[in-house]
Structure 1
């Protein structure tokens, strides 16, 4: 049986505990959350499984070496001490990505260049030839992380960021990242045991992630490839076995998932993306203005959405957010309504008191993910005291 090794899963701010829970449930060993990262242990099969199944991970790195470096020479020497023939041949291509938190090194391109020199010089000395750099489609992606004087060299097992699930061909003006959508849904407590609606669905990301969570479909089932498929120890049989075992754990879904958008172009894009994700049996999308809708289902309703915010609203912002509050209050009783906004001022105009406020980031924008609990059969929201900022 193959030995377990350490891995690092990167995530978005505020999702560390979610990712820690996902990894634990998936069967990872020694799971430990940090800031925007969770470390864990597993074998090669688990590395495949983590890439396929994790909803809130952006990347899975496999650390291969650590050393101390204080200047360019000690960096070069440390990289040279790694036996690169274990991970790369002279006929393959590679690329180096860097993350720096150090007084000794403050220029990421310089660190990447020095690291590259150390690797190609090692190959030249041993074989007379060298592997080439390919920034777009490398065979091996190497990650160099420097924290003060500690250098950690890792292999990127994922390749392209895991938020690129592979089902989106069309996006809207301000699309939401798939990992952000999945994390918001998990934070909101969505588990597929009620009806669901996204009343401003844009290109359908929240709907797709909601359906995959409800049916327990692996998050990255639609991806074309992962970086580890180009490694010398790639085991396609093991990968197929892992995928098959994950697909056996999918579950039936007995409710409805509905999306509205008032823009016909958004509705078309959302339908395309849902179809690409093979989720059209679970998700229904139609053209409608949220402000002219009312709740269509009996029983509790779970709502998560990403209303427009920022420049595009200009002076209508106050009215827009007030209308959100009015519609929730008057037309959506017995509903848990969550939405994200980077317009922190606008929340004042909703006119309802949130029962939860969670700080997240949408790209570089600081945002709040807020929850409004609408009473069944009442036009008031449920007041709670834990108004967290």
Structure 2
């Protein structure tokens, strides 16, 4: 028990509950929801596992210290007091990210600079030399969070956001964030127990995430690096054990995942990304216009997609969303269809009533994840049986 400490996993709005569930399933203790974050207890091996396996986390940070910062001097002194020499040498590099929700400090970049000053001043005063800043690949990434007058200093164990899974070499114009894709799939109840279709797959992110969930493949297995690998206490053997044990928990998937897109360029990119993720045996990418297709599988079909929403003309939008509704009604009985949209007006033209509406954000756009249940035969027949 003595080796456990509190960590915080950051996520997107609306994913707190599914991230908490993911953490519990992995074995985290004392899991508590925050806003766009979930805190939990675990040891070093669990921190490695959380980075490797969590699908809906953007970052895992390890809090070092919290203190009151009512002004600039208190901020500087609080940072200066931390024993940074235990975490980094003068020959290594650092980077600071800051998030502020405070009346005293209203500029995150300024807080980041002030933090950096305090750290390098401590080194200069105690060792006559200072570590350099490297914003791209630092040896130590420091996370500052100021809420009102409380400053929390954490170490960022992930580095680049965890949505950078490492399999996506090619994207189309507006690719969906991998964490958003995984969260939508988990919210939709996708568990790999049926065939799956993304009818507007773009560069293939949703089918790849769907296959990784179905086969229980660690979300970040294709990633090149995590920030904790540069920490002074990094345990390479432990990380290898954690990776091996996570890979041993993968499972067979006995259905098929399909991705359609009508743009040849998207199809090429999607196939590349599926190949990069080593998932070609599970995912079939086909050039097809969804509006000219019908269900080609027996039994239940699970559908999740992110329809393109560009700056289309209003009438075009109406026709586009009406076509989604018509295609589902006419061609896809026995299907649970989920999609995300930021265009609330256009949803009316689908002509079907959603059975679920979940508020999410796609980037900065407030969006809804909606579910349409297409029954086999008519709804009446289903109830009369």
Instruction: State TM-score, norm by structure 1.
Output: 0.96
Alpha carbons of structure 1 residues 110 and 12: separation in structure 2 relative to 1, 3 Å: same
| Partner SS for 1:184 | helix
Give the superposition deviation at 1:310: 3.6
1:386 is matched with none
Alignment-derived partner of residue 141 in structure 2? 141
1:44 matched to which residue of 2? 44
Q: Is residue 322 of structure 2 the alignment partner of residue 322 of structure 1?
A: yes
Give the superposition deviation at 1:381: 11
SS in 1 for 2:207: helix
Aligned to 1:197: 197
CA deviation after TM superposition for structure 1 residue 135, in Å: 1.0
Partner of 1:295: 295
Whole-Å separation in 2 of the counterparts to 1:61 and 1:301: 38
In structure 2, the residue matched to 1:34 is: 34
Q: 1:70-219 alignment to 2 at 5 Å?
A: 70-219=70-219
Deviations 1:122-155 (A, max 9, x none): 1111111000111111111001100001000000
Q: Deviations over 1:258-316 (max 9, x none)?
A: 00000000000000000000011100001000000000001000000011114145531
The CA RMSD measured in Å over matched residues stands at 1.4
Figure out how many residues of one structure are paired with residues of the other and give that number. 383
Q: Counterpart of 2:372?
A: 372
1:338 equivalent to 2:338? Answer yes
Structure 1, gaps ≥5 residues long = 384-389
Q: 4+ runs of 1 displaced by more than 2 Å? A: 312-315, 377-383
SS of 2:344's equivalent in the other structure is: coil
Go from structure 1 to structure 2 and tell me whether the alpha carbon gap of 1:70 and 1:117 turns closer, same or farther (over 3 Å shift): same
Kept after mapping to 2: 8 A contact 1:260/1:286: yes
Q: TM-score, normalised by structure 2?
A: 0.97
Partner-residue secondary structure (3-state), 1:166:
coil
**What is the Cα deviation at residue 252 of structure 1?**
0.4
What's 2:280 paired with? 280
Q: Measure, in 2, the Cα distance between the counterparts of 1:351 and 1:315.
A: 15
User: Which ranges of structure 2 fall in alignment gaps of 5 or more residues?
Assistant: none
Q: 2 CA distance for matches of 1:269 and 1:252?
A: 26
CA distance in 1, matches of 2:280, 2:145: 41
Q: Secondary structure at the match of 2:233?
A: coil
Matches of 1:325 and 1:210 in 2, distance apart?
Answer: 23
